[in-house]
């Protein structure tokens, strides 16, 4: 991730929910809902054959999945772009468990953690907790993520050493 990309990310993480599609667009990624992706495929990032995407890559998200799922998919594919763009090649398809045939488990773990960081920045989650918001459903709603994603994020942020 370049310093310019980090600066852009920081600008979008000033309040919750993070506008992940606008962030992706700012990074030069075009984002589309695709209602024809196969069941079990949450999304993909691929080279943009149309030449319209400034970065040269486009994210397609399974339009049949719930809104919060689509948001996480966009964040996950942004993470692949930021961290693994040299391995994207002609495309990475991520299944419902955010696994890809092209990426190893460490790379998928990194993409999931970065996606969580993009959508649920530590400083914003900490601010909510300091304000007394600890109910997972409320926090999930505030950040527009699934309860499961928020549970994992809370465990990660507040685990005991």
Render pLDDT for 77-111 as a digit per residue (tens, 0 to 9): 999 999 988 877 777 766 656 655 555 578 888 98
- Contact assessment for residue 43 and residue 143, using Cβ atoms and an 8 Å cutoff: no
- Contact assessment for residue 19 and residue 145, using Cβ atoms and an 8 Å cutoff: no
Cα separation of 17 and 74, whole Å?
14
Beta partners for residue 46, in sequence order: 58
**Other beta carbons less than 10 A from residue 111's beta carbon:** 25
- For the chain, 161 residues long, give each residue's pLDDT as a single digit of tens: 899 999 999 999 999 999 999 999 999 999 999 999 988 889 999 998 888 889 999 999 999 999 999 999 999 999 999 998 887 777 776 665 665 555 557 888 898 999 999 999 999 999 999 999 989 999 999 999 999 999 999 999 988 55
Beta partners for residue 102, in sequence order: none
3-state secondary structure of 13: coil
Residues 6+ apart with CB under 8 A from 66: 146
Q: Tell me, rounded to whole angstroms, the distance of Cα 65 from its chain centroid.
A: 15
């Amino acid at each position: 991730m370049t310093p310019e990309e980090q600066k852009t990310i920081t600008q979008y993480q000033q309040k919750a929910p993070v506008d992940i599609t606008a962030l992706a667009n700012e990074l030069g990624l075009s984002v589309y809902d695709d209602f024809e992706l196969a069941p079990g495929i949450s999304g993909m990032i691929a080279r943009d054959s149309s030449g319209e995407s400034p970065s040269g890559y486009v994210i397609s998200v399974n339009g049949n999945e719930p809104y919060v799922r689509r948001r996480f998919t966009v964040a996950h594919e942004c993470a692949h772009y930021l961290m693994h763009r040299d391995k994207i090649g002609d495309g990475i398809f991520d299944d419902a468990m955010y696994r890809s045939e092209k990426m190893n488990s460490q790379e998928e773990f990194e993409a999931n953690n970065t996606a969580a960081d993009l959508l649920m920045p530590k400083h914003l989650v900490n601010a909510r907790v300091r304000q007394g918001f600890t109910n997972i459903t409320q926090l999930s709603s505030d950040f527009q993520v699934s309860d499961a994603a928020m549970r994992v994020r809370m465990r990660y942020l507040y685990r005991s050493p």
